[in-house]
Amino acid sequence: MNLWKRPVRLICTFLGLSAPSAWAGEPPAVDTPAPAFALPDQAGKTRALEEWRGTWVVLYFYPKDDTPGCTTEACAFRDDLHKLAALGAQVVGISVDDSASHKAFAEKYHLPFPLLADKDGAVAGRYGALYDLWLMKFAKRYTFLIDPQGNIARRYLSVKVSRHSAEIIRDLQTLTAAAQ
């Protein structure tokens, strides 16, 4: 547990409050089923994890549309999408922003993959990727590589946005080569 979390938990306990939910859950472990979800995309269409069964899914959580780090990460996925698709992968982004914000972000940067609106943070919470600070919620910058059977193949809990897409491509190359 990070050193600053312990005092906050003690204060919350003293005041009779629950600690922020982001601290309660752990990200799903490798080789366990990925938590299911159904969320609206930037066009308002509901998209579910099961729709991509049979393909690799690069499920990435990000804090906020149109911010520097999130833009760098999204554009790197966009620029590498042909490589990811050649490896049988679908990129899917999730944040707590709404569909209208996702639509503007996707249009501005020509992002050709779904951005899902997790407005209440429930899905991010199930993936251990939510900061819930009572008045404000946002997703942690976590990525999960989900295999074609729907299991977590890799977790990325410390993401460097400038090289993250390349890291995932390397891991996908290794995983797909091992499966052949």
Residues with a known catalytic role: 70
Contact criterion met (CB below 8 Å) for 33 and 150: yes
Going from the C-alpha of 115 to that of each of 45, 95, 118, 152, 177, the distances in angstroms are 11, 8, 10, 20, 29
- Taking alpha carbons only, the member of 162, 172, 139, 138 closest to residue 75 is 162
Contact criterion met (CB below 8 Å) for 130 and 26: no
Question: In this structure, what are the phi and psi dihedrals at residue 48, rounded to the nearest 5 degrees?
Answer: -120, 150
- Taking alpha carbons only, the member of 114, 122, 109 closest to residue 90 is 114
